[in-house]
């Protein structure tokens, strides 16, 4: 079973993946482009682990052991000995392709899976940037990663069966996640269904159909959802929602995936949801 893993990106999603992998006993090497980004990721991970200790969900001993399993680098060449790599960086096709090309050249074991946490980009597009596309696969986690049990496994047309088996095994047997598998179509399973729902809620606000509070309350109490669509969009990140919408609209041409003007303007204004302190709701206090 995989022991040495690499995680590319220590942002919101990357930090969650790092935490879960370290708590599960993996040796985790983390890459970020700049030291300040690594420092931010480390602080985010340790804050989350400390919160788990304070809530009685993790012992201090296990917290310290998890922290000790994590190391950090700004040099992708240090990933040479990794048995599996998980990427969680910005949803930008060109940047992801560049990173995967470098990982493919660096990771010595050419059967070691290279996984993308992309929410919407086709895995085949990313795999095309490598010399060994059989090792490239989608492994899509959900935020917050330490809490939500689901992962989506997305093989490209060129992904080897052995890669699928290794990645599913690591996700389920080591990380304790429930894995579902989808074809390599933009949005996969969850976002294919979820994104039109979130965008519809934005359009309702935009058109003055109802208040944000009533929309969220309606879906919580009327459809038994744990949170309303606008609260969920704020948690996901409005920039991420807009980016996913753009990719899916480009692929399918379906108006239900078109990014509403209000969402676009909010992103332009820096109102990105929880992570910026302001979205459809105010999180600054």
Tokens of 189: 């399973």
Q: Determine whether 191 is an active site residue.
A: yes
The residue annotated as part of the active site, out of 32, 116, 140, 243, is 140
Strand ordering across the sheet containing 114-116: 70-73, 27-31, 4-8, 84-87, 114-116, 136-141, 150-155, 178-181
Q: How far apart are CA 203 and CA 197, in angstroms?
A: 10
The residue annotated as part of the active site, out of 19, 83, 87, 152, is 152
CB atoms within 10 A of CB 232: 21
Q: Determine whether 83 is an active site residue.
A: no
Q: Determine whether 152 is an active site residue.
A: yes
Q: How far apart are CA 140 and CA 238, in angstroms?
A: 18
Nearest CA to 158 out of 135, 180, 138 is that of: 135
The residue annotated as part of the active site, out of 116, 191, 243, 276, is 191
Angle at 200 between CA 197 and CA 206, to 5 degrees: 150
**Helix, strand, coil percent values for the chain (each to nearest 5):** 50, 15, 35
Question: How would DSSP label each residue in 84-107?
Answer: EEEE---S-HHHHHHHHHHHHHH-
Q: How far apart are CA 220 and CA 235, in angstroms?
A: 16
Q: How far apart are CA 156 and CA 93, in angstroms?
A: 15
* Distance of alpha carbon 76 from the chain centroid: 20
Q: How far apart are CA 62 and CA 247, in angstroms?
A: 40
- Pairing between β-strand 150-155 and β-strand 136-141 as defined by DSSP bridges: antiparallel
Q: Which residues are catalytic?
A: 119, 140, 152, 191
């Amino acid at each position: 079973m995989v022991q040495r893993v690499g995680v590319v990106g220590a942002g919101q999603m990357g930090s969650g993946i790092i935490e879960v992998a370290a708590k599960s006993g993996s040796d985790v090497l983390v890459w970020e482009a700049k030291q300040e980004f690594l420092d931010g990721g480390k602080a985010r991970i340790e804050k989350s682990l400390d919160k788990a200790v304070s809530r009685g969900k993790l012992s201090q001993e296990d917290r310290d052991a998890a922290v000790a399993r994590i190391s950090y680098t700004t040099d992708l060449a240090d990933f040479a000995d990794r048995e599996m790599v998980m990427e969680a960086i910005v949803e930008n096709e060109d940047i992801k392709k560049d990173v995967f090309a470098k990982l493919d050249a660096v990771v010595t074991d050419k059967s070691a899976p290279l996984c993308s946490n992309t929410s919407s980009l086709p895995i085949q597009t990313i795999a095309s940037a490598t010399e060994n596309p059989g090792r490239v696969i989608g492994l899509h986690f959900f935020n917050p990663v330490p809490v939500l049990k689901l992962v989506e496994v997305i093989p490209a047309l060129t992904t080897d069966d052995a890669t699928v088996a290794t990645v599913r095994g690591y996700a389920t047997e080591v990380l304790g996640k429930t894995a579902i598998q989808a074809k390599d179509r933009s949005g996969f399973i969850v976002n294919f269904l979820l994104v039109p729902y979130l965008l519809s809620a934005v359009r309702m606000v935009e058109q003055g159909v109802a208040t944000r509070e009533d929309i969220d309350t309606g879906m919580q109490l009327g459809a038994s959802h744990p949170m309303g669509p606008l609260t969920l969009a704020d948690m996901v990140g409005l920039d991420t929602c807009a980016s996913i919408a753009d990719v899916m609209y480009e692929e399918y041409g379906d108006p239900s995936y078109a990014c509403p003007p209000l969402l676009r303007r909010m992103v332009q204004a820096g109102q990105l949801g929880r992570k910026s302190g302001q979205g459809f709701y105010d999180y600054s206090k």
